Amino acid sequence: MSIELYRRALSAPEDIADWIVEGPMAASFPRGALRLESAADPAAGQAANFVAWLPVEHEGDVRISWSFRPLREPGLAMIFWAARSRDGRSLHDPALPARTGEYEQYHSGAIDAYHLSYYRRMWPAERSLHTCNVRKSHGFHLVSQGADPLPGVLDADRSYRAELTWRSGRLHFDIEGIECLDWTDDGAIGGPVRAGGAIGLRQMAPLIAEYSDLLVEAI
């Protein structure tokens, strides 16, 4: 049995009015779906990237599904879950250091989280071999890797459905029903298994991508 925690079509500005944005995110809806890109010059490096946190947290087991379509490469798209401060407080506690979208603040800063980069087309090695990577923080621990079936921009003719399931420390991730990852955190790397916390989307410039039909369920 699942309980709906959050659902948005991502088809109009009001669907993201309560998102918490860190970094230079620019949002538009030219085709009835959320188009995200950086408002900064990609030459700014990490300072051109951004994170958008959803206005919902999960307490434990969760399923997150969304539709994704890349529109311009290079770049990278990522999702965070089970994100909290390192001492278990809310990710948005005002006492925490400010975050501005630069990746080091998220993997080696004041928070713990899991992060899955599911569309990696930033560097030549990522473009020649497409993989999904899972990291566990605090720290830059690469804990799992799997194949990424998403096409590049040239061949992407629609949005593709992604689904992340987190249950009792086990991650399952698929795209269009194709299994990409199945990994269980046994606590051996990066400390104890994380439970609940915040959910966020991260994008690296100059990627432009569309998102739609976002659903978060407690399971």
For residue 202, give Cα distances in angstroms to 52, 87, 155, 209. Answer: 6, 23, 23, 11
pLDDT tens digits, residue range 95-128? 999 999 999 999 999 999 999 999 999 988 888 8
Architecture of domain 3-94+101-218: Sandwich (2.60)
- Mean pLDDT of the region 145-149: 97
Residue 123, pLDDT score? 87
How many other CB atoms are found less than 10 A from the CB of residue 152?
Answer: 13
Asked whether the bond before 74 is cis by omega within 30 degrees of 0, the reply is yes
Q: Is the pLDDT of residue 75 over 90?
A: yes
Residue listed under structure tokens 């799997």: 146
Residue 19 is given by DSSP the state -
Strand, coil or helix: 138: coil
Task: Kindly provide the residue ranges of all beta strands, DSSP E only, lying in the chain, ordered along the sequence.
Answer: 3-8, 20-22, 25-28, 34-38, 50-58, 62-72, 76-85, 111-120, 131-137, 141-147, 160-167, 170-175, 178-184, 197-204, 208-218
